[in-house]
Chain A
Amino acid sequence: MTAILLRGGTVLTGEGAVEADVRVEDGTITALGRDVDTAGAEILDCSGCWVGPGLVDLHVHLREPGQEWKEDVASGSAAAAAGGFTAVVAMPNTDPAIDSGHLAAHIADRGRRVGLVDVAVAGAITAGRAGERLAHLDELWAAGVRVFSDDGDSVADAGLLRRAMEYLADLGAVVAQHAEDVGLSRGGHLHEGAVSARLGMTGIPAEAEETVVARDLALVRLTGVAYHVQHVSTAGTVELVRRAKDEGLPVTAEVAPHHLVLDHTATLGTDSAYKMYPPLRTPDDVAALREALASGVIDAVATDHAPHAAHEKDVPFEEAPRGVTGLETAIPLVLDALDPDIETFFDRMAVRPARIGGLLHHGLLPAVGGPATLSVVDPDVEWVFDQSRSKSRNSPFLGATLRGAARHVVVGGRVSVREGKVAW
């Protein structure tokens, strides 16, 4: 493996941000500072860029196995790399659901063969995500799974969830919840409020999310399991998470970039590009999410990258599947929503998500002797989102001019993105 020199960037180290070059050899950072030896190294220009730990996305849908016309591990990995990520956690709502060890091992192995980013796999909590009995939790754990979720659905049965929490607490795993009470969300397509009233569509009230989180927090108090709230979308959920953290419960939370920059008025035109779960909420919710991410009440940005084919989305809003792609637009949306400093940016995009996901080789601030898994982010570059490495194009930001992008990405010493282009 050739040596790499990341030259001229602002590097986020344990001692704060410094102007430095970073030399990488054999997957390890061998030098960090000024006047670093350039001999035999491929030089990557990092001027004007932030250099930090590789970005980690706790929530993506790679659609493999079973829905490869939307996405697969190869296309999803390329989209992740293009978006500056070095690791993703693939949700198990595939067909079949990833509810057993061999499936999880297979998908992780597919990720290794593609080799652009580390593909970690979330395991289902219940067999087939059917919400009736436990999935093969030990097998999944043995295959390397650290995050468990029935994402796409809540685990509705509180007794079953309690048993899963007890079992997974012993293993040290994280229970991640897609919080949606179907009794409250049934038939709903967008946020319940002034927009749904005007359009005559059934809405999904904020309480569909909040009642599930409130119930789950009682079970966290009971079981002590590490609990992660997926795609927080309401001010009420933010408040529940804030209070749980104040109480000392082992609770973390993520927010999707689109929820930081769009509100439900975007759905007035009934364009299915704006349809996702949780739905776009009110401007007050957006403000609360931004504030919570800035303050750290919400730990992580996670894209909920949910690719769907054009023909599936090119239908009336109510008939379209939920979800938007997100991997390639996360950096500019987070910069736009938060205007973060370099520490906050990498903390919410890399350090904390890696910790939550149990990804030991990710989320580590660059240091000599540490792993060369790094993202180089140009916070100022303007570009048009008019092509994608994903198989799908279901993004409300398609065609938009965005600011901020990954310039280079290095995973375990290998360059997966060079000058904004995915290496292969």
Chain B
Amino acid sequence: MKHLLGLEDATRDDLEAILDDADGFVDVLDRPIPKVPALRGKTVATVFFEPSTRTRLSFERAAKALSADTLSFSPGTSSLSKGESLKDTVLTLRAMGADLMVVRHRAVGAAARVAAWSGVPVVNGGDGAHQHPTQALLDALTVRRHFGKVEGLEVAIVGDIRHSRVARSGVNAFSALGARVTLVAPRTLLPVQVDGWPVAIASSIDEVVRTADVVYLLRVQAERGGTAVFPSLPEYVSRFGLTAERFAAMRPDAVVMHPGPMNRGVEIADEVADDPRSLVLDQVRMGVAVRMAVLFRLLGGENA
């Protein structure tokens, strides 16, 4: 593996291998001194052209737990406002000694372009609505550790599928690992042509809450209400929100997940977010371990 740009072509073996490594790093993170010298002397650059808190922090935490140094680029404080191109930014960071770049950018394919220009391993930290592979890996790890398996589980992904890189990567990972995936969204929030995707489609959350093992809620991007993809937030909640009543109808062993940040009271009710069967904070913890596994795979071992 030279880069991690997406999971569209990932096989079950590829994914299981990364998750197995990540299990080991979960153990590292549970130690009194949660740090190993695996990437000492390496520099991991986080190159984020979009605002992000948890993903950037998670990658930096993962890099530091592997004893790597970090370089941090964000557009607010950069030459970007002076019109510097993405390519020049990337070449500059490379010249400063970045050994790996984690890239987040609003444009689809941005990480792939950076991979072509930079000459160093690239991890896609999110490119437009295309892919967010480490999110899907951490979600799969969370599910695998909770249920002991992914195979055969029913995973319902609810919300703005059309504009979600989390959903696209998630469909790839969960289906490759043998889960049955259902996408739940109004037609305006589904991609226009999903024939050929390994998924079922539902047009109300009520169709899935009683049977799903995992109800995976996507963040409602409130600003999208303005582009008329759904009539209003209350109407969205009435068809797609995980309310306390719907939560009560779920199977007793079923869980709720969310990539964050959550809109409490919209896609997820307050009390559901704080319920023990909400795995949101587990996801955050698994995120660090998965990113350690990815960074180590790209920079350590035989790639060192």
List the interface of chain A (C-beta within 8 A of B): 192-194, 196-201, 203, 205, 269-270, 311, 314-319
Across the interface, B192 reaches (CB within 8 A) one of A196, A315, A319, namely A196
Tell me whether A316 and B108 are in contact in the complex, defined as CB-CB below 8 angstroms, given that A199-B130, A200-B163, A201-B129 are known contacts.
yes
| Contact between chains at B192 and A192 (CB < 8 Å) | yes
Complex CA distance for A199 and B124, rounded to whole angstroms = 14
| Contact between chains at A201 and B87 (CB < 8 Å) | no
Can you spell out 6 A-B residue pairs with CB atoms less than 8 angstroms apart? A198-B168, A311-B85, A314-B113, A318-B109, A318-B128, A319-B86
| Contact between chains at A197 and B191 (CB < 8 Å) | yes
Asked whether any CB of chain A lies closer than 8 Å to the CB of B3, the reply is: no
Residues in A with CB closer than 8 Å to B113 are 270, 314-316
Residues in B with CB closer than 8 Å to A201 are 108, 128-130
Question: Whole-angstrom distance from the CB of B187 to the nearest CB of chain A?
Answer: 13
| Contact between chains at A197 and B112 (CB < 8 Å) | no
B122-139 near A? 1/0 per residue, CB < 8 Å: 000001111100000000
Residues in B with CB closer than 8 Å to A194 are 193, 195-196
Asked whether any CB of chain A lies closer than 8 Å to the CB of B110, the reply is: yes
Give chain B interface residues in 2-21, CB to chain A under 8 Å. Answer: 8
Count of interface residues, chain B, beta-carbon cutoff 8 Å:
29
Residues in A with CB closer than 8 Å to B109 are 199, 269-270, 316-318
Tell me whether A316 and B192 are in contact in the complex, defined as CB-CB below 8 angstroms, given that A200-B130, A200-B165, A200-B168 are known contacts.
no
Across the interface, A317 reaches (CB within 8 A) one of B108, B163, B193, B195, namely B108
Complex CA distance for A270 and B192, rounded to whole angstroms = 19
Complex CA distance for A201 and B193, rounded to whole angstroms = 12
Complex CA distance for A37 and B109, rounded to whole angstroms = 62
Across the interface, A198 reaches (CB within 8 A) one of B8, B87, B112, B127, namely B8
Question: Whole-angstrom distance from the CB of B7 to the nearest CB of chain A?
Answer: 12
Residues in B with CB closer than 8 Å to A198 are 8, 168, 191
Complex CA distance for A316 and B196, rounded to whole angstroms = 26
Asked whether any CB of chain A lies closer than 8 Å to the CB of B107, the reply is: yes
Tell me whether A200 and B195 are in contact in the complex, defined as CB-CB below 8 angstroms, given that A315-B86, A315-B87, A316-B86 are known contacts.
no
Complex CA distance for A199 and B112, rounded to whole angstroms = 12
Question: Whole-angstrom distance from the CB of A271 to the nearest CB of chain B?
Answer: 8
Residues in B with CB closer than 8 Å to A317 are 107-109
Complex CA distance for A269 and B162, rounded to whole angstroms = 19
Complex CA distance for A316 and B162, rounded to whole angstroms = 20
| Contact between chains at B108 and A199 (CB < 8 Å) | yes
Residue of B nearest to A193 (CB): B193
Tell me whether A197 and B192 are in contact in the complex, defined as CB-CB below 8 angstroms, given that A316-B109, A318-B108 are known contacts.
yes
Asked whether any CB of chain A lies closer than 8 Å to the CB of B194, the reply is: yes
Question: Whole-angstrom distance from the CB of B218 to the nearest CB of chain A?
Answer: 13
Residue of B nearest to A197 (CB): B191
Residue of B nearest to A190 (CB): B108
Residues in B with CB closer than 8 Å to A311 are 85
Question: Whole-angstrom distance from the CB of A307 to the nearest CB of chain B?
Answer: 19
Across the interface, A197 reaches (CB within 8 A) one of B85, B107, B193, namely B193
B158-177 near A? 1/0 per residue, CB < 8 Å: 00001111001000000000
Give chain B interface residues in 87-114, CB to chain A under 8 Å. Answer: 87, 105-110, 112-113
Residues in A with CB closer than 8 Å to B196 are 194
Residues in B with CB closer than 8 Å to A193 are 192-193
Residues in B with CB closer than 8 Å to A316 are 86, 105, 107-110, 113, 127
Complex CA distance for A318 and B162, rounded to whole angstroms = 16
Residue of A nearest to B163 (CB): A200
| Contact between chains at A200 and B193 (CB < 8 Å) | no
Complex CA distance for A318 and B105, rounded to whole angstroms = 11
Complex CA distance for A198 and B106, rounded to whole angstroms = 16
Question: Whole-angstrom distance from the CB of B48 to the nearest CB of chain A?
Answer: 15
Complex CA distance for A269 and B8, rounded to whole angstroms = 12
Give chain B interface residues in 176-202, CB to chain A under 8 Å. Answer: 191-197
| Contact between chains at A200 and B192 (CB < 8 Å) | no
Complex CA distance for A199 and B193, rounded to whole angstroms = 11
Complex CA distance for A311 and B195, rounded to whole angstroms = 37
Complex CA distance for A301 and B207, rounded to whole angstroms = 51
With most chain A CB atoms within 10 A of its CB, the pick from B85, B108, B127, B192 is B108
Residues in B with CB closer than 8 Å to A199 are 108-109, 130
Residue of A nearest to B128 (CB): A200
| Contact between chains at A203 and B192 (CB < 8 Å) | yes
Complex CA distance for A316 and B105, rounded to whole angstroms = 9
| Contact between chains at A197 and B194 (CB < 8 Å) | yes
Question: Whole-angstrom distance from the CB of B190 to the nearest CB of chain A?
Answer: 9
B68-95 near A? 1/0 per residue, CB < 8 Å: 0000000000000000011100000000
Residues in B with CB closer than 8 Å to A314 are 85, 87, 113
Known: A200-B108, A200-B128. 19 other contacts (CB 8 A): A194-B195, A197-B191, A197-B193, A198-B8, A199-B130, A200-B129, A200-B165, A201-B108, A201-B128, A203-B192, A269-B109, A269-B112, A270-B108, A314-B87, A314-B113, A315-B85, A315-B86, A315-B107, A318-B128
Residues in A with CB closer than 8 Å to B108 are 199-201, 270, 316-318
Residues in B with CB closer than 8 Å to A205 are 192
| Contact between chains at B191 and A196 (CB < 8 Å) | yes
Complex CA distance for A315 and B86, rounded to whole angstroms = 7
Residue of A nearest to B117 (CB): A314
Residue of A nearest to B127 (CB): A316
Question: Whole-angstrom distance from the CB of B133 to the nearest CB of chain A?
Answer: 13
4 smallest CB-CB distances across A and B, nearest first, come from: A270-B109, A200-B129, A316-B107, A197-B191
Residues in A with CB closer than 8 Å to B165 are 200
Residues in A with CB closer than 8 Å to B195 are 194
Question: Whole-angstrom distance from the CB of A349 to the nearest CB of chain B?
Answer: 35
Complex CA distance for A269 and B9, rounded to whole angstroms = 13
Complex CA distance for A313 and B61, rounded to whole angstroms = 35
Question: Whole-angstrom distance from the CB of B136 to the nearest CB of chain A?
Answer: 13
Complex CA distance for A205 and B193, rounded to whole angstroms = 11
